Amino acid sequence: MDIVLATRNAKKIEEIRRMMSGIRVNILSLADFDCPDVQEDADTFEGNAIKKAVAISKCTGHAAVSDDSGLEVDALGGLPGIYSARYAGDGADDASNVRKLLAAMQNVPNESRGARFVCCIALALTDGSIYTFEGEVKGSIALNPEGSSGFGYDPVFYPAGHGITFARMDAGQKDSMSHRRAALEKLKAHLKKIT
Ligand code: ITT
């Protein structure tokens, strides 16, 4: 079965390809198709994930898998949440997003710095059926960025029970406990049943 990865985020693509190895699907790249950008205007991770997967499946004529994900911070009422990629505004990048988050958290004491990463994966099949799979990892927000691996908010996220940020972990260690891993395991179990 051919599946197009409906994301333009190179770091997500790396992680998903790594964790999808070992199952009988042929992963195609969105870069090989001429599809318009999908507007992420739903108000949930699931809504945006479905929008992306359905649009890319229709555009390419193949099954599509999308990933909508983000960081929910308790002290900020769940922000940046679905706005994670563009938290610092138009033209935001990982560094400006992290800077804005740390500034917003400046006066938040250690015991109130809880957060979680959420990942919703959507699978859209060519017969029009849609499936979604969620994963999360709980943790807390660091006082300063630490480490240079990964992407996004990895330098400021301590997964619970570990004394280092995701950005200080090697790829295999982050993969073993990440929100994306949890969602992808559910997707893989589903694909094994239908392929
Ligand atoms: P696509 O929509 O093309 O997939 P995107 O980067 O815009 O790419 P999202 O809308 O799902 O994707 O935004 C996800 C953002 O959440 C991402 O840019 C990071 O800022 C953050 N994020 C998600 N997963 C993360 C992870 O594993 N580590 C660090 N930050 C993550």
Chain-centre distance for alpha carbon 192: 22
Q: Which CATH class is domain 2-194?
A: alpha beta
Distance from residue 106's CA to the centre of ligand 1 (Å)? 23
Distance from residue 70's CA to the centre of ligand 1 (Å)? 6
Check residue 22 and give its pLDDT: 84
Cα dihedral 17, 134, 127, 30 sign = negative
Q: How many CA atoms lie within 13 A of 144 on its CB side?
A: 1
**Residue in 13, 35, 37, 153 to alter for ligand 1 test, most ligand atoms within 8 A of Cβ:** 153
- CB count, 10 Å around CB of 63? 23
Pick the catalytic residue: 68, 127, 170, 175? 68
Q: What is the mean pLDDT for each group of 10 consecutive residues in the chain (195 residues)?
A: 96 96 92 96 98 98 98 98 97 98 97 98 98 98 98 98 97 97 98 92
Q: Assess contact for 151 and 165: CB atoms under 8 A.
A: no
pTM: 0.97
Torsion of the alpha carbons at 40, 46, 52 and 58, rounded to the nearest 10: -130
Give which of 64, 59, 47 is closest to 129, Cα–Cα. Answer: 64
Tokens (6 digits) for 169: 């972990």
